[in-house]
Structure 1
Amino acid sequence: AKVAPHDYPGLTSARAQVILMTVFGILAVDFATVPRYFAKTEKTGFSPMDLGVGAFVIIVAVSSREAKNILPANRWQNVGKALRGSVALIILGLVRLFMVTVLNYQNPVHEYGVHWNFFFTLACTRVLTSVVYATVPIHLDWVVAVILGCTYEACLVFTPLASFLDSDERSGFLAANKEGLASIVGYVALHLAAVATARMLGYKPRNSARDWVMTGLQAAGMAAASFAATYVMHTAVDPVSRRLANLSYCLWMYSLGTFAVALSVGVSLANAVLLPRSAHVDYNLFAVSHADNSHTDFDILWKSINYNGMAVFLLANILTGLVNIFFHPRTASDIVCFVALVGYIYVLCIFAVFLHRKMVKLKLPFT
């Protein structure tokens, strides 16, 4: 039988860790204590904060119905669901836009544009990928990903598109938001590639450690190949640009995603070997159960963050905005930075665990 995605402890922890690292980063980089090279790059290069949007795209992809190969008879039904589900992201995007325009919250124009932001990008990616799956056989998604990624990269390298995106032209809606709109193509390609990989590596029955060893080796091979491709693209063709989500950036994110899978499988295999005799390993789920049904604190935290991931992320954005509006992070001392970040993460974790314990799941309209 196929395995539901929420049954994978590895996916649960990975999704929660991405959310936790992202919400930590969005506030941390506002403090002078944190070196600026941790912040998002302006045009090209590598930075921890550049991982956020790509990681979210991958996490959404590997959790999708397409990754589980579960599609309705009428595949256009998924487009309707994607449209309804994207309403929440659009609402968050409008809230962010309100904070930028009315409350004068910081907004580097070179990131997404004048009006565009992270939430609008995720919403468009979600809808456009659902349209792809409604019109193209699911087993050809990797072909579409390759065609999209390579065609977009060719346009950046061989046409005036890159010059236009790097210019200061901001007249009209398209020019004002050119970075955010152009990058959608790259994120759609990344999403499709992640779905195809998850379907191949993730959602299939396994009965032994040997099956997982093969999965780990496959993931490691993909990571090595994509790391090599990233290096060649970055040094010889087109530098990595999170701002444009070019092919170099997509390869970088893909390599990190497959490396994370290989690392997770390796750690789980080591854990299975070192388990006490009272524990049992379900190799289909790669889940460990103990005789006393005990769970670690991290298990509880990861499940709690997953249970209300969008609510945690929304609260993090609200708290970050309040800190920037009413305080001055760039002039704060090291001790203030430390106390603020610890308190901020503590509040978010307590919020998530409290809601999970009460079995309260917060949802935005239409989700």
Structure 2
Amino acid sequence: MQVNLSIVPDFPLTSLNTFGIEARAKRYLRIENAEQLQAALADPVLAAMPRLVLGGGSNVLLTGDFNGLVLHMALQGRAVLTGTDTHHHVRAAAGENWHAFVQWTVDQGLPGLENLSLIPGTVGAAPIQNIGAYGAETKDYFHSLTAFDPSSGQFVTMDREACRFAYRDSIFKQEAGRNLIIVDVTFALPKAWTPNVRYAELAQAVAAQGIATPSARDVADTVIAVRRRKLPDPADIGNAGSFFKNPVVSADACERLLAQYPALVHHRQADGTEKLAAGWLIDQCGWKGRSLGKAGVYEKQALVLVNRGGATGADVQALAQAIQSDVNAKYGVVLEPEPVFV
């Protein structure tokens, strides 16, 4: 079967990254079906080019023009599948908007993903980053995914174990899986659902509404309200959400920090380590609301770096490095960026 590949040269990427960084790609291809993807990477010229896979561009920092092929994953489709006695199974194509997909599952009476409402990006990006918020992560509801392996030219199915999920991490960010391209994702949503309001801020926001037994829609709407109150809309001001991971340190290291900084925000992990609040560390170093050139730190949330207007990737990178340097100098803690630098 002949597959039409509409390759666009010198393509602007400003609308394909939520930071709103101005950059261009040498070649661009919008992928709307799996056959296009397979055909494109079977072409020896295209396959030999440096490759960047983009969905919503919400977890990438473009540091310059991309001298290669951008594959824009725009595959659409979502469906309720045959599940099990304990779980509903739902599948969505990689190009589906994540927030719209989550709201659709809630509207279908299939709860589970509501704590992950209003996270920017696409469904295909969710497993890569193992996105998480308000006491939930992708891995908690993940069943399997389909990915294209350019090295073999074949599609593969991967379960949770194969994806090697960790905190804001997966095999897709590691050498073993960096070249795999996610085509669709299937989630397992519990039939015996109970609201997840373990996260203190969410529990307080639900209680403030006088809701004793929240529904999935109550949880989703509350998460949306909290996020809108704290975080900037990329449509209004360029950003990639939380820019740094919350650092994890040993219990001993945390104790030493607490002795010097009793107000240190920390959360004990199941393995005995302590997760520190990166936003608190950045705020204490005086960066909240500050700018460095055309890039800055959001006034309402120190974990979010923003494009004040006309910032380049180098501007954002310089700001991030300055913040990392100050936090490391004061607390001896290394902050790791969440976005991929390209």
* Structure 2 length-normalised TM: 0.31
Higher normalized helix content (fraction of residues): 1
* Structure 1 length-normalised TM: 0.30
Higher normalized strand content (fraction of residues): 2
